[in-house]
Amino acid sequence: MKVGYHNMETHLKNISKINAKKIFDSLDEKTLINYNEYVEKSEISRDLTAIFEKVQEQIGSINNNSYKFDLNFGIEMYELLFNKYKVRERHASNMQLWYALQLKEVPHIVYARWGLKEERFLQNTRRVYLWTLWWYIHISWQGNKEKTFQVLEKNNTDTLVQLVERIGRNGYRIELYRKIMYYHHQHRKDGENRNLIRKVMKLNTIRCKIIEPELHDGGIDQYASDLFSYFN
């Protein structure tokens, strides 16, 4: 391995779900609360912990600002993993790497947000915390951090769930989802249309069975825009 070379797979060893369960059962709340004192951290753990501490200082109480924390930490984590550790869709699709990251490297971060909820560590694949954040940012990405934050900042935890948990038969349609999130930002109004993304995603699921977005008149961009016209 070249000196200074970073790749998620060189820093993390796959952990099966069975072994992940064993590690989860051994987690101790006192250690997680005082993680910096008890654990000698690896490079990837130090990097993510530094982001976590910076975001926590910025937003205050995580419990009172849960989505704000998810978004701010998620974008910073995404950029770190994408740029420094070269995480791409292939790596992000490997749940065993996320088990390793969450349970061996940064369990204190997951604990700070969710406590010892097993579904957020390993039980429910589509709710493994850091996995959901990486994919939420990836399928919403607008070309840079600033534009992505602008598109996502007025959303809520339900928006995240509605987007991330709707994985198609062949995975996420990345370009389409990014366009949908762009137009969602354009059409969403403060305090209104809290269920807009849910309605649009349901409509998209139905329409994709009979229409190929790329072949739609005007292509994917117009297809995504047209989804919202039904709810104006």
What are the tens digits of pLDDT across the range 168-202? 767 889 999 999 999 999 988 765 556 889 999 99
| Length of the chain counted residue by residue | 232
Q: DSSP character for 215?
A: G
Asked if residue 36 has pLDDT above 50, the reply is: yes
State the amino acid at position 196 in one-letter form.
L
Measured distance CA(99)–CA(105) in Å, rounded:
9
Mean pLDDT value across the chain: 91
Measured distance CA(95)–CA(57) in Å, rounded:
30
Query: Cβ(107)–Cβ(32) under 8 Å?
Result: yes
What are the pLDDT digits (tens) for 51-85?
A: 999 999 999 999 999 999 999 999 999 999 999 99
Whole-prediction pTM: 0.93
* Both tokens assigned to 187: 């059409």
| Residue ranges of domains in the chain | 1-138, 152-232
The percentage of the chain sitting over the pLDDT mark of 90, rounded to a whole number, equals 77
Q: DSSP character for 169?
A: T
**pLDDT given at position 2:** 41
Q: Could you tell me the pLDDT band of residue 6, with boundaries at 50, 70 and 90?
A: confident
Which residues have a Cβ under 8 Å from the Cβ of 24 and sit 6 or more positions away? 103, 116, 118, 121, 122
Q: Could you tell me the pLDDT band of residue 18, with boundaries at 50, 70 and 90?
A: very high
